[in-house]
Amino acid sequence: MTHDKALVAKKLRKWEGFLQEYELPTWDMLPCIELYMDQVLVLLTQYLNFPPREDGAENITTPAMVNNYVKMKVLPPPVKKRYSRVHLAYLIMVCMLKQTLGISLVQQILPADASEGTVHATYDAFVRMHKSVAAQFAAEVRAAASPALLSEEPADSAVGGLILQSAIAASLFKLLTEKLVSLGDTPEPAPPATGEVNKP
């Protein structure tokens, strides 16, 4: 694979700027009217244009995927084929998280069968956290890209190193997420029976 340093640098600067400007819609920005599937898909494509999608990129999600999320109880079923603000909030979070996490892990992270109030609170926290992490990530992109792209190292070696660095970081963060989620399933140790002494 060959790379053009100038092109990579230009793209990274563009993505960094996009990260700094991009914001997920707040709960109050989501439509409060019920929508049909095609309307939901149009909105998701607008909301999750992150970063701007290249020509020929796969759809953010499809009707079949949404139906599968309902079957898997990742999100509640539609009411008379219509989707509410709760569905949109779930779908935005699912579509963002599934880029790196398996759907079963996403299912463990998001509240299942939650009340609208709980979904609202979870979504608000998600949006705030996304903004904060995106700002940190933009700085990391700038810091990681600069040495590689400004060095005298051949383009393929410099960009290849950046690709490996990104892949390793993604795998380590995925592993950390899995470990943290699994801690929620760890049962508390049983208290000792009467008369027994705790041993270290």
For residue 178, what are the CA distances in angstroms to 24, 62, 101, 108, 135?
A: 24, 26, 9, 10, 23
In tens, the pLDDT along 60-115 reads 889 999 999 999 999 999 999 999 999 999 999 999 998 888 898 999 889 878 89
**150 contacts: CB under 8 Å, gap ≥ 6:** none
pLDDT in tens, 16-70: 778 778 889 999 999 999 999 999 999 999 898 865 555 556 678 899 999 999 9
Rounded to two decimals, the pTM is 0.78
Largest Cα span, the chain: 73
- Collapsing DSSP states into helix, strand and coil, what is residue 26? coil
